[in-house]
Amino acid sequence: MRTPIIAGNWKMFKTVTEALEYTTRFRELVKNIQGVEKVIAPPFTALHMVSQLLIETGISLAAQNMNEFDNGAYTGEISPVMLKEIGCQYVIIGHSERRALYGETDEGVNRKLKAALKHQITPIMCIGESLAQREKGETFTLIDTQLKKGLADLTKEQVSKIVIAYEPVWAIGTGRTATPEQAEEVHAYIRQWLKANLGNEIADLIRIQYGGSVKPDNIAGLMAKPNIDGALVGGASLDAANFARIVGFRQ
Active site residue 119: no
- Which of the ranges 44-52, 80-88, 191-199, 232-240 carries the binding residues for ligand PGA, by CB under 6 A? 232-240
Task: Give Cα 227 to chain centroid, integer Å.
Answer: 15
| Choice from 233, 240, 246, 247 touching ligand PGA (CB under 6 A) | 233
Q: By CB under 6 A, is residue 212 in contact with ligand PGA?
A: yes
How many Å is the Cα radius of gyration of the chain? 17
CB neighbours of residue 7 within 10 Å: 26
Is residue 232 close enough to count as binding ligand PGA by CB under 6 A? Answer: yes
Smallest gap from residue 55 Cβ to ligand PGA (A): 26
CB under 6 A: which stretch of 59-67, 82-90, 139-147, 212-220 binds ligand PGA?
A: 212-220
Query: Which of 4, 123, 235, 248 contacts ligand PGA by CB under 6 A?
Result: 235
Measured CA to CA in angstroms, residue 197 lies from 88, 142, 159, 201, 217 at distances of 29, 16, 11, 11, 35
Cα-flanking dihedrals φ and ψ of residue 211, to 5°? -140, 145
Q: Using the minimum distance from each CB to ligand PGA, give the nearer residue, 198 or 219.
A: 219
Catalytic residue among 68, 95, 104, 187: 95
- For residue 218, CA distances in Å to 47, 93, 224, 245, 246 come to 29, 25, 10, 11, 9
| 90 vs 84: CA distance, rounded Å | 9
In the 8-state DSSP scheme, what is residue 177?
P
Of the CA atoms within 13 Å of residue 139, those in its CB half-sphere come to: 17
Contacts to ligand PGA from residues 17-76, by CB under 6 A: none
Smallest gap from Cβ 161 to ligand PGA, in A, equals 20
For residues 140 to 169, the per-residue mask of contacts with ligand PGA, x marking binding by CB under 6 A and - elsewhere, is ---------------------------x--
Among positions 82, 162, 172, 246, the unique one binding ligand PGA when judged by CB under 6 A: 172
Query: Interacting stretch for ligand PGA, rule CB under 6 A, among 69-77, 98-106, 114-122, 210-218?
Result: 210-218
Clarify whether 95 is annotated catalytic.
yes
Cα separation, 13 vs 238, in Å, equals: 8
219 forms part of the interface with ligand PGA (CB under 6 A) = no
The CA distance from 208 to 31, in Å, is 24
Binding residues for ligand PGA (CB under 6 A) = 9, 167, 172-173, 211-214, 232-236
